[in-house]
């Protein structure tokens, strides 16, 4: 029996994780759940899975959750300390890190240091603090298993091969809803259009990141830390069908790929069960009816966020922290319809150009640069308005 803590249980990854766990009650037990402010959904999850501890983002929501869970024997905590409590609970053996954004860093790092294996769906943890996190993983001797479909695919495609034989990692990208749009068309993109992803059902923030291709840029940085491959050896190919989830090219010219239907339950289950595989009730991939599988290089002029991510990775130090923080702020502003779609990349670039890159030596450094970048981004949004 594997005891599980889920950080971000009410998000799309958290919900899918719980659906998988419900199918294998003899293999997994939910010990802890951490969520944001979706109290009704969280309460339903608690009633069904009966965790020992549950955390919510805002301490002011505790009384409302207590009322919803009246009669249930569960410890209710809140805030960052609450999420840390869920991540480090003594009986937990694996933490599914699925909090969206930089907020996932502190509890995930706490889980690693307390000896928990990590199923990582929070790419921002590695984007903002890759060196610190990977060092902690090594020191603690825990497993860090990627849940992003692309990184899970690479992880699987690397299995059984020597690192020195890798020539290139190839991350695939759907291209989002605007891959065929012209720059002029992108000037008039609406929020509704940006949230209409053609292949994947994701949260709002990640869906916008997919539309700008910032999501793929963050994944490039994540891959750099996960697989210790130089940025120049990490390529992105636009693959609209989302069937080839990513590939590894080896020095002999061989390319090993992982294919499957576009459903996040597959990489989640792989991380939960590793090194085993568990049977899922998903429709199998039928290549005979799937049609053509196409690939192309991304257009960096139409989707400059991807190039900004490569640039931030090349700059190193505090640059990826600023990139991520600025992106979170501008995406939130776009979701609130305060800025236009093309303003997202424009403002991130402006914030990065104003930033002087510094060394990052601690989590406190990460949090400080993140805070400063959010303030600078808000100021830049105001100036552009």
CATH topology for 316-385 is Rna Polymerase Sigma Factor; Chain: A (1.10.1740)
- Residue 200 has a pLDDT of 62
pLDDT at 201: 63
> CA–CA separation, 148 vs 374, rounded Å?
25
**pLDDT at site 203:** 78
**Residues β-bridged to residue 244:** 259
Domain ranges of the chain: 2-146, 148-261+269-300, 316-385
Q: What pLDDT does 199 receive?
A: 67
Q: Cis link prior to 275 (omega < 30° from 0)?
A: yes
Give the per-residue pLDDT at 385.
Answer: 78
Beta bridge partners of 181: none
CB atoms within 10 A of CB 293: 15
- The pLDDT, as a whole number, for residue 180 is 87
Q: Residue for token digits 């597959």? A: 266
User: Tens digit of pLDDT per residue, the chain (385 long)?
Assistant: 999 999 999 999 999 999 999 999 999 999 999 999 899 999 999 999 999 999 999 999 999 999 999 999 999 999 999 999 999 999 999 999 999 887 899 999 999 999 999 999 999 999 999 999 999 999 999 999 999 999 999 999 999 999 999 999 999 999 888 988 898 999 999 999 998 877 666 678 889 999 999 999 999 999 999 999 999 999 999 999 999 999 999 999 999 999 999 999 999 999 999 999 999 999 999 999 999 999 999 999 999 999 999 999 999 999 999 999 999 999 999 999 999 999 999 999 999 999 999 999 999 999 999 999 999 999 999 998 7
Packed helices 214-227 and 343-354: angle between N→C axes, nearest 10 degrees:
50
CA–CA distance, 357 with 315 (Å, rounded to integer)? 7
- DSSP three-state, residue 146: strand
CATH topology of domain 2-146: Rossmann fold (3.40.50)
- List, as own/partner pairs, every contact residues 335-339 make where C-beta atoms lie below 8 angstroms and the sequence separation is at least 24, other chains included: 335/191, 335/204, 335/205, 335/208, 337/191, 338/381, 338/385, 339/381, 339/384, 339/385
Q: Which two tokens stand for residue 301?
A: 């002029």
The three-state (H, E, C) secondary structure of 310-376, written as one string: HHHHHHCCCHHHHHHHHHHHHHHHHHCCCCCCCHHHHHHHHHHHHCCCCCCCCHHHHHHHHHHHHHH
């Amino acid at each position: 029996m594997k005891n599980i803590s889920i950080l971000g249980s009410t998000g799309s990854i958290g919900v899918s994780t719980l659906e998988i766990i419900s199918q294998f009650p003899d293999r997994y037990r939910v010990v802890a759940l951490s969520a944001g402010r979706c109290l009704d959904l969280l309460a339903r999850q608690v009633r069904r899975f009966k965790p020992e501890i549950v955390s919510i983002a805002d301490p002011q929501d505790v009384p409302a959750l207590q009322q919803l869970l009246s009669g249930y024997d569960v410890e209710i905590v809140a805030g960052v300390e609450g999420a840390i409590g869920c991540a480090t609970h003594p009986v937990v053996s694996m933490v599914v890190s699925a909090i969206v954004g930089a907020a996932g860093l502190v509890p995930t790092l706490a889980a690693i240091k307390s000896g928990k294996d990590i199923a990582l769906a929070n790419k921002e943890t590695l984007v903002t603090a890759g060196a610190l996190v990977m060092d902690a993983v090594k020191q603690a001797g825990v497993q860090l298993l990627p849940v992003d479909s692309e990184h899970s695919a690479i992880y699987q495609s690397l299995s059984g091969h020597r690192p020195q034989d890798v020539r290139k990692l190839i991350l695939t990208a759907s291209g989002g809803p605007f891959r065929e749009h012209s720059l002029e068309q992108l000037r008039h993109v609406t929020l509704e259009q940006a949230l209409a992803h053609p292949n994947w059902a994701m949260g709002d923030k990640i869906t916008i990141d997919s539309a700008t291709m910032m999501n793929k840029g963050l994944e490039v940085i994540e891959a750099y830390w996960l697989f210790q491959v130089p940025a120049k050896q990490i390529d992105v190919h636009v693959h609209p069908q989302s069937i080839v989830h990513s590939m590894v090219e080896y020095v002999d010219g061989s390319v090993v790929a992982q294919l499957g239907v576009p459903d996040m339950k597959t990489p989640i289950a792989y991380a939960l069960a590793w090194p085993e595989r568990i049977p899922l009730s998903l429709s199998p991939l039928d290549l005979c009816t799937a049609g053509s599988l196409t690939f192309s290089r991304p257009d960096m002029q139409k989707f400059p966020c991807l190039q900004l991510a490569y640039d931030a990775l090349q700059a190193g130090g505090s640059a990826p922290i600023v990139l991520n923080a600025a992106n979170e702020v501008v995406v939130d502003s776009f979701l609130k319809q305060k800025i236009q779609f093309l303003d997202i990349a424009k403002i991130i670039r402006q914030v990065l150009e104003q930033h002087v890159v510094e060394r990052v030596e601690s989590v406190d450094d990460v949090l400080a640069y993140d805070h400063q970048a959010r303030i600078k981004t808000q100021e830049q949004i105001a100036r552009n308005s």
